[in-house]
Amino acid sequence: MTSLCPAIKPFVTLTSGHFAQFSESITRETGIRMPREKMPMLQSRLQRRLRQLNLDNLDDYRRRLFESGDSGSEWIEFINLVTTNKTDFFREPKHFDYLVDVALPSRDPGPGAPWHATFWCAGCSSGEEPYTLAMVLEEYARRRPGFEFSILGTDISTRVLELARAAIYEAEAVAPIPPEFRHRYLLRGKDPERARFRVVPELRHKVRFGRLNFMDEQYGIKDRFDGIFFRNVMIYFEKPTQQMVLSRICRQLKSGGYLFAGHSESLTGFNLPVKQVSASVFRQTR
């Protein structure tokens, strides 16, 4: 009797040699450190990818990734596979308080004067940070006539960028959003069995997303920004890579613009055109 069940793929063992090749290529191309303790995580994710591609062993996958003509598109999928994306709405909320109370007033050209402020969320993941920023800025615009804004969100992972553009989130994800903001800026889905929410189109239209690799020599961003949120990204880089990336990011700041880093991250010891003005907040000095 012929079984209709699909054959179970053998379990893939990630050898030290395999891990060294994969981890070195990840760090070289993306700057992301891949220490040996990440080996079980990488093995698990590669196992899942091999099943998707119907491949039996890692050598076949290595050839597809590094040697075949399809390597470009598979490399993007590989990066999606290995990157870790952790974010929340209103994460590190004191930054948004500082933005409203100090940063924006310091850049205001004058009461009632037309003003378009620009912001960049560098390492935006699935969109929670830029949409949080959009809510905060929209509230500011309600009190300050003539104020407009636009936000750029970038990430190396095409998978999370698709989620960010869709702007659809589960009830658990939107829980940190204040109730009045949820009422004003989120639409609830019609499925009574599943509570899902989508950011209102008025805010979605003010946020654009694009893929960016921090290791690229040129970022291709023509804008200069009043504020850049580069939070909880440096922790994945070695010190020399941090200096290189931070230097490139700071070049995108307007004169007097603000850089927001993660609370667990330090800019001490770096040669950068910024000075610290608050906890994990820096201002451009040139």
Q: Which two tokens stand for residue 36?
A: 């040996």
Under 8 Å between Cβ of 245 and 257: no
From 70, 143, 155, 223, active-site residue: 155
For β-strands 186-188 and 196-199, DSSP reports them as antiparallel
Q: How many residues does the chain have?
A: 286
Is 155 labeled as catalytic in the residue annotation? yes
Under 8 Å between Cβ of 92 and 263: yes
Task: Show Cβ contacts of residue 153 under 8 Å, excluding neighbours closer than 6 positions.
Answer: 120, 121, 124, 127, 129, 130, 161, 164, 207, 208, 209, 210
Phi, psi of 151 (to 5 degrees): -130, 135
Under the phi-then-psi rule, with left for phi > 0, alpha for psi from -120 to 50, and beta for the rest, what region is 127? left
Under the phi-then-psi rule, with left for phi > 0, alpha for psi from -120 to 50, and beta for the rest, what region is 71? alpha
For β-strands 168-170 and 225-230, DSSP reports them as unpaired
Q: How far is CA 43 from CA 47, 57, 237, in A?
A: 6, 12, 21
Under 8 Å between Cβ of 229 and 120: yes
From 28, 36, 45, 59, active-site residue: 45
Is 45 labeled as catalytic in the residue annotation? yes
Active-site residue set = 45, 155
